[in-house]
């Protein structure tokens, strides 16, 4: 990329005019970090995740507001620091202050963010910050750092057609709307502030307003915008950092204000929730989705189940089957139970909870888990360990979590992903298996983790 050089030439030319410009040359020109994804793959991944967000979030098609966001975004896109991704802008009806960007360009702004901004420059600051995450490719950079082995293979697989999210999910890499592409490191935050401030100044807005807005969100311990601050953690001294950066920039007039902000804020404040919004696919309704898997997908709302041995929460659109007294149950949606050609029913989507080794006396967690996996492999010859056991807490005590691949009874699924959770109880080893079609696994890990976190023992 030769952008930094042309930028420096501009700076030198300006030096002849303005004495303060020597400092300008010290401004850093940030570049994206190492990345397994190509920029085109950023765009494809972002578009697929965008389609998911459009289906699962209350996205509002208010033309006036979206046109306004697009106008502000286009001003920022003229900055060379915006890179060349195809940005587009969406409004989400949400009382929580937040904003997020997906790889390759989709930007989402919550309605509450517009209401919380004091002026147009503050809203432009949020956009510039989000667009900087895209331009600097923070999402896929972070994913690349965290999946050094599995990601290159998954991306290679993704080149043979199909969806990017589906290919990544088959490798246990979840890139749904709630996944790590939305959570940034403090380094990434500092970079987004820095780059965003440059973009703002290039577009004619005072970068300090971005820092002031973030500072406002952090007042009173951040109660005003907990979600935003967890997605965009404060790198520290935001205002001071922008002030120092500003001192290195050439003098500019910040006069880009369109004057439309008060009107837009008024429109947003009177906006009704979108009528077509459905929080989760209703059980039993296939909607526009194909196959049975999405119908079976666990709802985000959970409900409680108690046996003699443990309590847990499970998705409200799944049902409990089995012997509640013994604690051996299958919890699944109707469409998650699949009848094979031999007439036997197997679980294609759902969870199983039971005890193993109940009659063998005391059980060691790690060796017991290995024996259980060997046992499961006898029953499912295609089963392999995808991710070795890692230590977790289950109901306040030591547990293990192992990811397995197995045959999926759904004909369109290349394989199933089984998340195995084990912990030792007086009754033997309690195990839970979350059985998931491979293409679905990326979408449901958050719900599974919530279920695991809900386990308590009497
Ligand atoms: Zn951020």
Ligand 1 center–CA 322 separation, angstroms: 46
Ligand 1 center–CA 181 separation, angstroms: 11
The most distant pair of C-alpha atoms in the chain lies apart, rounded to whole Å, by 87
Quote the pLDDT of residue 297: 86
Quote the pLDDT of residue 119: 98
Ligand 1 center–CA 432 separation, angstroms: 36
Most confident of 118-127, 153-162, 266-275: 118-127
Ligand 1 center–CA 140 separation, angstroms: 14
Ligand 1 center–CA 231 separation, angstroms: 7
Ligand 1 center–CA 138 separation, angstroms: 9
Report if pTM > 0.85.
Answer: no
Please give the structure tokens belonging to residue 372. 């259980």
The domains located in the chain, with CATH, are 31-269 (no CATH), 293-454 (3.40.1000.10)
pLDDT, tens digit (0-9, with 9 covering 90-100), for 90-127 = 999 998 999 999 999 999 999 999 999 999 999 999 99
Residue 200 has pLDDT above 90, yes or no: yes
Provide the edge-to-edge strand list for the sheet that holds 319-323: 319-323, 328-332, 350-356, 428-437, 416-425, 397-406, 384-394
* Average pLDDT for 340-344: 59
Structural element, H or E, at residue 368 = helix 365-379
Given a contact cutoff of 8 angstroms between Cβ atoms, the answer to whether 80 and 62 are in contact is no
Structural element, H or E, at residue 30 = none
Ligand 1 center–CA 47 separation, angstroms: 19
Please give the structure tokens belonging to residue 37. 């994804």
Phi, psi dihedral angles at 56 (to 5 degrees): -110, -10
Least confident of 270-284, 350-364, 373-387: 270-284
Ligand 1 center–CA 188 separation, angstroms: 7
Ligand 1 center–CA 337 separation, angstroms: 42
């Amino acid at each position: 990329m030769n952008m930094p050089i042309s930028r420096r030439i501009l700076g030198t030319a300006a030096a002849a005019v303005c004495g303060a410009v020597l400092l300008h040359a010290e401004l850093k020109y940030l570049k994206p970090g190492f990345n397994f994804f190509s920029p085109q793959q950023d765009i494809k991944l972002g578009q697929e995740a965008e389609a998911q967000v459009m289906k699962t979030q209350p996205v509002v098609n208010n033309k006036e507001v979206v046109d306004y966001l697009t106008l502000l975004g286009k001003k920022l896109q003229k900055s060379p620091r915006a890179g060349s991704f195809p940005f587009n802008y969406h409004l989400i009806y949400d009382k929580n202050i937040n904003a997020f960007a997906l790889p390759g360009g989709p930007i989402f702004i919550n309605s509450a963010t517009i209401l919380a901004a004091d002026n147009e420059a503050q809203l432009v600051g949020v956009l510039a910050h989000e667009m900087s995450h895209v331009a600097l490719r923070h999402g896929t950079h972070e994913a690349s750092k965290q999946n050094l082995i599995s990601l290159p293979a998954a991306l290679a697989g993704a080149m043979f057609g199909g969806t990017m999210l589906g290919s990544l999910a088959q490798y246990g890499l979840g890139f749904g709307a709630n996944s790590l592409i939305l959570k940034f490191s403090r380094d990434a935050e500092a970079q987004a502030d820095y780059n965003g401030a440059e973009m703002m100044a290039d577009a004619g807005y005072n970068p300090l307003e971005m820092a002031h807005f973030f500072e406002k969100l952090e007042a009173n311990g951040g109660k005003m915008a907990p979600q935003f601050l967890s997605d965009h953690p404060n790198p520290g001294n935001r205002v001071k950092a922008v002030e120092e950066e500003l001192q290195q920039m050439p003098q500019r007039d910040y006069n880009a204000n369109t004057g439309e902000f008060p009107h837009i804020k008024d429109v947003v404040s009177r906006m009704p929730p979108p009528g077509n919004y459905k929080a989760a696919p209703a059980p039993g309704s296939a909607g526009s989705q194909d196959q049975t898997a999405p119908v079976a997908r666990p709802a985000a709302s959970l409900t409680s189940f108690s046996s003699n041995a443990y309590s847990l929460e499970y998705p409200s659109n799944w049902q409990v089957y089995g012997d509640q007294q013994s604690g051996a149950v299958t919890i699944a949606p109707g469409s998650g139970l699949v009848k094979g050609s031999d007439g036997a029913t197997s679980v294609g989507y759902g969870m199983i909870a039971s005890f193993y080794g109940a009659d063998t006396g005391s059980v060691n967690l790690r060796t017991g888990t290995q024996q259980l996996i060997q046992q499961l492999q006898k029953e499912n010859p295609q089963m392999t360990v995808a991710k070795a056991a890692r230590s977790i807490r289950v109901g306040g005590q030591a547990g293990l979590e192992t990811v397995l691949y197995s045959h999926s009874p759904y004909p369109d699924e290349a394989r199933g992903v089984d998340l195995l959770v084990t912990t030792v109880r007086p009754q033997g080893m309690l195990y839970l298996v979350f059985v998931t079609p491979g293409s679905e696994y990326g979408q449901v890990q958050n719900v599974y983790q919530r279920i695991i976190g809900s386990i308590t023992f009497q």
